[in-house]
């Protein structure tokens, strides 16, 4: 009598079978880059024959619950001539026996159902990898298996908006999640989306933008899973003007002077309105080419600066922009990955344009 086998899947796979592409023996999983064999229509004999092949290694498959953690019993093969014996010899023997006893009657033949390939289709099926060691002959007591409930977690989406003191959106502001060590960039409307699997842990967000003070806030994901998070940034105060005056006299060849500081209220400098520029691709690989698109700009020389979020200038160069230009290409400096700000400053008028950039 053949020894029964058992199939077990230590770690079931949670990929969606319907989203996989069709393959020869089942489907192909794009996440694992492996072929998943469909075993749900195989009988016990076909399963044992498949996994008894010497060439069979670790296999990803789709199984019915009834095919796992039970004995896979292969019924013994019938002797070919035994069917003919029962179809010819046995009825002849029966007729001769009836004739000898002179008993009238007709024997009733009851068909015997072959249950070796009875398939039960359950409501749910299991995907997973079956290792060769998982096919165990039941010749000793099986090892205890610890079973428990499966906890399915769903990511929480935190949607926020960054505004200034007037309630106006702050475009392309940087949002750094210290909990997951992740850096995000807001869109032109100051909106951003943060996903997290943690429901109870506080997230520390560090928000920064050019011309605004850095803001650090603590966020509870469970609180803002339905409500929008509003973050207000305060603008940097204007610098006070310092005027130095001095008086000096000459005596015996020595210069003697007195220096005093005089402070006065300075008027806010008139800075031309900043123009909107866009960069793509964003994020971009360090050392690769970057495309900048902009509206009509005044012709002249411009200073190009790549500045980190910490305020360090990592690259600076001078370029000429024609009045009819709308696109330009720049080489991204080979620096560490992270968030950076790209500045375009007109050297004649001081007009400044900026865009936030993510380097990978």
Q: What is the pLDDT, as a whole number, of residue 149?
A: 45
Per-residue pLDDT of the chain (360 residues; tens, 9 = 90+): 566 678 888 888 888 888 888 888 889 988 888 888 898 888 888 888 888 876 666 788 888 888 888 887 776 665 555 565 556 655 555 554 444 444 343 334 444 444 444 444 444 566 666 644 444 444 444 444 444 444 445 678 888 999 999 999 999 899 998 887 888 889 999 999 888 877 667 888 999 988 899 999 898 887 877 788 889 999 887 655 545 454 545 455 555 555 555 555 555 544 455 567 888 888 888 888 888 888 878 889 999 988 988 788 888 899 999 888 888 888 888 888 888 998 889 988 888 888 888 888
Whether domain 156-232 has CATH 2.60.40.1120: the reply is yes
In this structure, what is the dihedral angle of CA atoms 184, 185, 189, 193, given to the nearest 10 degrees? -10
pLDDT at 120: 42
User: Which residue's entry shows tokens 């079978």?
Assistant: 17
pLDDT of amino acid 191? 93
Instruction: Determine the CATH number of domain 277-359.
Output: 2.60.40.1930
Sketch the domain layout of the chain as residue ranges: 1-147, 156-232, 277-359
User: What whole-number distance in Å separates Cα of residue 302 and Cα of residue 351?
Assistant: 9
Q: Say if 156-232 and 277-359 have the same CATH topology.
A: yes
Q: Which of 280, 347, 286 is nearest to 314 (CA)?
A: 286
pLDDT recorded at residue 222: 79
């Amino acid at each position: 009598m053949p020894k029964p086998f058992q199939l077990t899947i230590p770690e079931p796979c949670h990929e969606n079978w319907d989203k996989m592409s069709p393959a020869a023996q089942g489907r192909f999983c794009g996440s694992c880059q492996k072929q998943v064999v469909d075993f749900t229509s195989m009988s016990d004999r076909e399963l044992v024959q498949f996994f008894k092949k010497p060439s069979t290694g670790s296999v990803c498959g789709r199984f019915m619950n009834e095919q796992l953690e039970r004995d896979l019993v292969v019924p013994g093969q019938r002797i070919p001539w035994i069917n003919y014996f029962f179809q010819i010899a046995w009825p002849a023997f029966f007729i001769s026996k009836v004739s000898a006893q002179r008993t009238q009657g007709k024997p009733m033949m009851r068909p015997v159902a072959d249950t070796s390939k009875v398939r039960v289709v359950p409501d749910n099926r299991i995907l997973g990898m079956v290792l060769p060691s998982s096919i165990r002959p039941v010749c000793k007591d099986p090892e205890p298996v610890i079973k428990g409930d499966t906890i399915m977690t769903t990511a929480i989406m935190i949607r926020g908006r960054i505004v200034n003191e007037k309630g106006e959106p702050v475009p392309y502001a940087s949002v750094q999640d210290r909990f997951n060590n992740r850096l995000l960039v807001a869109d032109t409307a100051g909106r951003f989306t943060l996903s997290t699997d943690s429901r109870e842990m506080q997230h520390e967000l560090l928000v920064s933008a050019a011309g605004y003070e850095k803001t650090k806030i603590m966020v509870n994901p469970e609180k803002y899973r339905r409500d929008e998070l509003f973050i207000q940034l305060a603008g940097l105060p204007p610098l006070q003007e310092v005027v130095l005056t001095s008086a000096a006299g000459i005596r015996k060849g020595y210069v003697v002077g007195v220096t005093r500081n005089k402070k006065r209220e300075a008027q806010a400098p008139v800075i031309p309105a900043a123009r909107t520029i866009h960069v793509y691709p964003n994020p971009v690989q360090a050392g690769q080419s970057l495309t900048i698109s902009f509206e009509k700009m005044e012709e002249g020389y411009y200073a190009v600066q790549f500045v980190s979020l910490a305020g360090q200038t990592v690259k600076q160069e001078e370029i000429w922009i024609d009045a009819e230009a709308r696109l330009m290409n720049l080489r991204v400096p080979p620096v560490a990955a992270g968030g950076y700000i790209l500045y375009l400053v007109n050297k004649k008028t001081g007009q400044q344009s900026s865009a936030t950039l993510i380097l990978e």
